Amino acid sequence: MKNLAKKIEVFDTTLRDGGQTQGVSFSVGDKIKIVELLDNLGVDYIEGGWPGSNPKDVEFFKEVKKLKLKNAKIVAFGSTRRKNIKPQQDKNLQAIISCGVEVACIFGKTWRLHVEKALQTTLEENLNMIFDSIKFLKDNGLKVIYDLEHFFDGYKSDKRYAFRCLETAYSAGAECLVLADTNGGSLPKEVEIIVKEVREFFNKKNINIKLGIHSHNDSDCAVANTIVAVENGCEHIQGTINGLGERCGNANLCSVIPALMLKLGYNVIPKENLKKLTEISLNVYEICNLIPNERQPYVGSSAFAHKGGVHASAVAKEEKSYEHINPKLVGNERKILISELAGKSNLLFKRHGLNIDLNEESISKIIKTIKQKEYEGYSYENSEGSFIVLALKTLGLYKPFFKITGFRVIIEYKPDKNEIVTEATLKLFVENKEEHVVAEGDGPVNALDNALRKALLKYHPELKNVKLVDFKVRVINPQVGTAAKVRVNIESMSKKETWNTVGVSENIIEASWEALIDAVEYLLLKKIKRRS
């Protein structure tokens, strides 16, 4: 932990680079929510966008002024001035000044291919554009972070010119020079060599300048390249939450931050804030309307999930045997999965959910049942609700809360209104009383869900708070066509608690109904456990 006192600045570009992710479009309200999350995490800079490029970003920079941020500074983004004009005439630079921020981040060309082909100007004019733009912003009282776009490609193409761009940006007054791997094609060894040479270049001139790194993930090396750059002299890192970004994304701060702090001892964000990382990752996914990446390192729901019996047994004895860090450090948790690979240790981890003592005989019975059910197409890895119900039934300890005597679902198309109406009729016995209910819904599953809860509410009022938050269908054996089995997974939520259940059948409604029944029964079992 030799680097504990060395501060590494975090520059988050989720709102700008992350907003360029395919399928993601932030509203102003979305951007404000993310700013509050990032400030709460403790990042140093939050890049808000291009203040003069569109009405949404203009409004954002007005609204963000109303926030009282504790840790982060809002940054306006832009480019160097256009060729052959004065910086005072450049609308983007003027917009940065007028939006009211203290910090600007602008980028300019470093690769002569871009200078000559994209900008269609001379190498000298590009250097003038860099110098004039930075100096203009500095003269107007702004701190300037300068991103050298395509620096690594520019270095490989013409090292001398890439270094002239560096010197020009420094001489104009940039406080931080950020080396950008814009195409994301560099490998860690290249980044190590080039960053080290840049640092030595300034050291030989006795110039103390802060270097930064901005890595894209097109070679799946953005996180590694960022870490390598820090180890070789960069003190400023740029990236996004969950690695959002154009094409393959940017360096994932949810991986970079804990790696630098927990493995290399750098001071990145306040230590006590690291445990907020998983929650913030999930919140950003929710705002983006994206499905979380279960296998995402550190913060993914499978990052500390153990399926094999050998793994679970080892973790029970020594946590670090199959975990590179304690999941609680980043706000995550350990998961022991139940499957045909399960062993005794997996089930012992689940003992709290069963609320019973497990002996060798009962464990063997449960494992045998699970293996048979998984052969039939079930999966209990992420279906703890169904697992608990199944285990209690296997051991003969389950007492049903109700008995279904029949149901019918009618789907009617009304052409005059151009709508489809679904109605479910349900009969069941609860506490020796027959209930006969009818309910409508958006489709057969929703109608059955509404009918079931309607019948049970007066007996179990806590069901009023339950809602179905996710519904997934997977075909198990597609080779048999329309006769294939389907596996339905349902995620339910009551207040802040969530649980998952599973059903399998050739009939999608039957599979869904099975998962729905398990979801309700699991909640009622939890209620009994809490009372006891």
Q: Which of 151-155, 254-258, 336-340, 373-377 comes out lowest in average pLDDT?
A: 336-340
Question: For 328, which DSSP code?
Answer: G
Q: Which of 96-110, 361-375, 386-400, 450-464 comes out lowest in average pLDDT?
A: 361-375
User: Which residues does 432 contact at the CB level (< 8 Å), separation at least 6?
Assistant: none
CA angle (96, 97, 100) in 5-degree steps: 95
Q: Which of 21-35, 235-249, 322-336, 337-351 comes out lowest in average pLDDT?
A: 337-351
Percent of the chain past pLDDT 90, that is, above it, reads: 70
Q: Could you please report the per-residue DSSP string of 126-156?
A: HHHHHHHHHHHHHHTT-EEEEEEETHHHHHH
* pLDDT per position as a tens digit, 506-516: 999 999 999 99
Residue 376 φ/ψ, nearest 5 degrees: -80, -10
CATH architecture of 403-531: 2-Layer Sandwich (3.30)
* pLDDT per position as a tens digit, 291-333: 789 899 999 988 887 665 555 555 555 666 678 999 999 999 8
pLDDT of 209 strictly over 90 = yes
If one compares 259 and 376, the residue with the highest pLDDT of the two is 259
* pLDDT per position as a tens digit, 218-252: 999 999 999 999 999 999 999 999 999 999 999 99
Torsion angle of alpha carbons 433, 436, 440, 442, nearest 10°? 60
pLDDT of 480 strictly over 80 = no
Question: Per-domain residue ranges for the chain?
Answer: 11-288, 403-531
Average pLDDT, the chain: 90
Helix (H) or strand (E) holding 528: helix 508-531
Q: What is the CATH number of domain 11-288?
A: 3.20.20.70
Q: Would you state the pLDDT for residue 359? A: 77
pLDDT band at 502 (very low <50, low <70, confident <90, very high): very high
